Structure 1
Amino acid sequence: MAVFDFDTVINRENTASVKWEQVKQVFGQEDVLPMWVADMDFNPPHEVAEAIKKRIEHEILGYTFIPDSTGEAIQAWLKKRHNWEIHPAWIAYCTGIVPAISTAIQAFTEPGDKVLLQSPVYHPFFRMVEKNGRVVANAQLKLVDNCFEIDWEQFETRLKEGAKLFLSCNPHNPGGRVWTKEELAKMADLCAQYNCLFLSDEIHSDLVYPPHVHTPVAALGETYRDMTITCVAPTKTFNLAGLKASAVIIPNPELRKKFKDVQAVNGTSALNTFGIVGMEAAYRYGGEWLDALLVYLKENIDTAARFIAERLPQIKVMETEGTYLMWLDCRAFGLSEDELKDRLWKKAKLGVEIGRKFGPGGEGFVRINIACPRETLMEGLSRLEKAFA
């Protein structure tokens, strides 16, 4: 078995890294340790870089189409990793999940329509709904024994009120929940009952820790398949966000045509050459690397949870079932959003996301990205302790 190095600290300066080179713009000072935006500080699978190098050796970078082999690689990956049988013809390609969500909002709703969300949730969900002139219908998640649960009464009420599209996040960002088959089926059944389409953002689906298992909602049966738009990408899984490549899987031909028609209007259906090459190489050859990564990430999660339990017992750590993002309940300190920023960003020089950014239910929480070498993680944890000393 190959040995993968996740311990070496890699200098990411002079690469136009948002995470490392925009800390002053985001946090107000240069010497902040960035543990915020969701990319990893690890080299991706070697085969991805090799595939891109091989392609660039040709030197001519003309117009590129997406070959059948790319769809076949995605098909094989989803079958092997998630036991989901898809057809490559179901795939529409997009430069990212956020553009895909915006396209879906335009394709499947009208201005003024309601779009259902479950806050606290990935903040661009709110932005895409509002920028497209639609209305956020929020069914806030319930916090039960330090775990997010679905508020079924509120969920059904928002559907009764006429929500046309549900934006689901599975695994959940920022909470790290991996929704169960039963939860997914109940949400989908309610959406079907009230004629609401189900968009499932599954960008973190490959980053799930046993005993938890990711289930694509579209894999639960034909009824669910025909009402679902599923967004996947290699970008979180393999640390390839800069390649700007994602796949939107729409089995229903009528829905797929509507989605592609909006892409045609907006001119957004093409991927760049390296996005195509990198996506295919990652899905074809990245499995062994991912298996090793998941072990390392779980060790980081456990290390952070132990550290916080021992040194900062006032902070409750939500169990991270999936993703490499940890959701920390800091409400026991009784600090406002500005006070949290002051403690973390200014005093401790730790760049983390403040929970209010993720909508109602995020107040008093902090999201921290642990996808980094252990040395970086320990430095971040010592700064977290300093913030609340």
Structure 2
Amino acid sequence: MDFSKRIDRKKTNSIKWDKYTDKDIIGCGTADMDFTSSVDVKNALIKRAEIGIFGYEYKSENYFQSIINWNKKLYDWEVKKEWISNSPGIWAGIRIAIDTFSQPEDLILSHSPTFHPIDEIIQQSKRKAVKSNLRIQGNKYEIDFEDFEHKLRLGVKIFVLVNPHNPTGRVFSRQELIRIGELCKKYNVLVLSDEVYGPLAFKEFEHTPFSSLSDFSNFSITFNAVSKPFNLQGLTHAILIIPNKELYTKYSTALSGYDFDFATNVFSLVGVEAAYTYGWDWLQELKNQLKYNIDYCETFVAENLPKLKVFKPEGLFLVWIDFSQLHLDYEQLEELFISKSKLAPTFGKVFGNEYSNFVRLNFGCSSERWEEILVRLQKGINAIEDI
């Protein structure tokens, strides 16, 4: 795979690129990458398409075994076939789980900054959102465990853990996860652990599946997918790992009730199997490219944009940046990006109104494009500061 290749995604119905009428804007917000999938995945999808029939399918033994082998290789986690379920996407699975394992008006806890689909799901399911703010320590975010336990005491029913965390980029340590687990066990809280970015943790940071620790598998559900690490978001398929038999049975009943027991797109099944069977080397090359990009960003900002505060991610292709020292309101920050710099990021306001001075940038692209993004940002900031 040549990750240095600059790919034009305009006029491909890309949400990231085609929702802007200004053709000069660079999309650097929506969380998919500007890289083609591995040749093994593409060939597997083509081979499946050539069959020419796309009816109902069972999940094959190879599908299940690829998931089992992947978790063993990546995490040394012994996943069993009878633990594996699915949903049509991560957020669909979390919504089904919230509907299944809680009641209207129940409290659902998440960390803040909070990825906006969590809030939307909680609101739409008529539950009540509770937030525990991650606190800034130097140039990274850490869990405020005193506040976290305080929120659990309120009677929280479910905690939605996002690890690696979007948008801050934290890969929570084993010690942090153990403390989370001990507190959730103490207060009888079900943990829904979104770990879709886990395979993208950089080598100096170890991602640990929450359910693999201690007895946490008794009160947790793991949500995973090939979507983020292998750039297969459009296949909309999530893998759930549910070791607790009672939880598994309840979730399976709900899945069937939504008529989602057949919600396994035939190409999704092929994509999972191909990515997990043949994608290891491709993933390592991808991470090398991402590491180069984020290291370049750190150096560039330090040398050219010292008023910005970069929270260097430990395992994503997204970087969270604080623009507070520029003293811009939200409308001015939006103008800086869209009008002055011709860049379309994810503005921090979608993670909570208190983050209106933050921006999330997607560096899942060629080094050439990433360097252009940062140079455009520098020129836009210089233009504003010269006024």
What is the TM-score with the length of structure 1 in the denominator?
A: 0.96
Give the distance between the partners of 2:30 and 2:40, measured in 1 at CA.
25
Partner of 2:253: 261
Unaligned 5+ runs, structure 1 = none
Q: Does residue 112 of the first structure (1) align with residue 105 of the second (2)?
A: yes
1:93-140 Cα offsets, whole Å, 9 max, x none, are 111101011011101110100000111022111111111110001111
Identify which of 61, 68, 80 aligns with 1:87. Answer: 80
State how far apart, in whole Å, the 2-side matches of 1:388 and 1:227 are: 48
What is the RMSD computed on CA atoms of the aligned residues?
1.1
> Residue in 2 aligned with 1:160?
153
Matched with 1:11 is 8
Q: Which amino acid aligns with 1:100?
A: G
Cα deviation code 1:356-375 (max 9, x no counterpart) = 21125523111000000111
Distance 1:339 1:83 in 2: 48
Q: Residues 216-235 of structure 1: matches in 2 within 5 Å?
A: 216-221=209-214, 223-235=215-227
What is the identity, as a one-letter code, of the residue corresponding to 1:375?
E
Q: Which residues of 2 match residues 23-62 of structure 1 at below 5 A?
A: 23-24=20-21, 29-62=22-55
Q: Is the 8 A contact 1:352 1:366 kept in 2?
A: yes
Within-5 A mapping of 1:105-144? 105-144=98-137
Counterpart residue type for residue 238 of structure 2: S
Whichever residue aligns with residue 158 of structure 1, its letter is K
Give 1:86's aligned amino acid: V
Q: Distance in 1 between matches of 2:109 and 2:282?
A: 36
1:92 match: secondary structure: strand
1:281 aligns with 2:274: yes
Secondary structure, counterpart of 1:63 in structure 2? coil
- Are residues 1:190 and 2:183 paired? yes
CA contact (8 A) 1:140 1:361 kept: no
1:188 counterpart letter in structure 2: G
Separation (CA, whole Å) in 1 of partners of 2:354 and 2:278:
39
Taking the aligned partners of 2:150 and 2:332, their CA distance within structure 1 comes to 35
User: In 2, distance between residues paired with 1:276 and 1:214?
Assistant: 25
CA distance in 2, matches of 1:324, 1:151: 25
User: What is the percentage of aligned positions where both structures have the same residue?
Assistant: 38
CA distance in 1, matches of 2:114, 2:64: 29
Counterpart mapping for 1:169-248 below 5 A: 169-221=162-214, 223-248=215-240
Conserved? CA contact 1:121–1:172, under 8 Å: no
CA distance in 2, matches of 1:346, 1:161: 45
Distance 2:372 2:264 in 1: 38
Match of residue 90 from structure 2: 97
1:291 is aligned to: 284
CA contact (8 A) 1:171 1:204 kept: yes
Q: Secondary structure at the match of 1:210?
A: coil
- Read off the aligned partner of 2:267 and give its amino acid letter: F
Could you tell me which amino acid in structure 1 is paired with residue 5 of structure 2?
A: T
**Alignment-derived partner of residue 329 in structure 1:** 322
Give the deviation of 1:87 after TM superposition: 0.4
Corresponding position of 1:366? 359
Q: Aligned-pair distance for 1:164?
A: 0.3
CA distance in 2, matches of 1:149, 1:297: 23
CA shift in 2, pair 1:168/1:13, >3 Å: same
Q: d(CA) in 1 for partners of 2:207 and 2:123?
A: 29
Say if 1:148 and 1:175, in contact at 8 Å, map to a contact too.
yes
Q: Any stretches of 5+ residues in structure 2 without a counterpart?
A: 383-387
Within 2, Cα distance between the matches of 1:369 and 1:202?
A: 18
Q: Hey, what's the Cα distance between the residues in 2 that align with 1:88 and 1:360? A: 42
State the alpha-carbon separation in 2 of the partners of residues 356 and 17 from structure 1. Answer: 22
Residues 161-180 of structure 1 deviation map (CA, whole Å, 9 limit, x = unaligned): 01100001100100100000
Q: How many equivalent pairs are there? A: 381
SS in 1 for 2:240: strand
Q: What residue in structure 2 maps to residue 343 of structure 1?
A: 336
Between the aligned partners of 1:263 and 1:339, the Cα distance in structure 2 is: 45
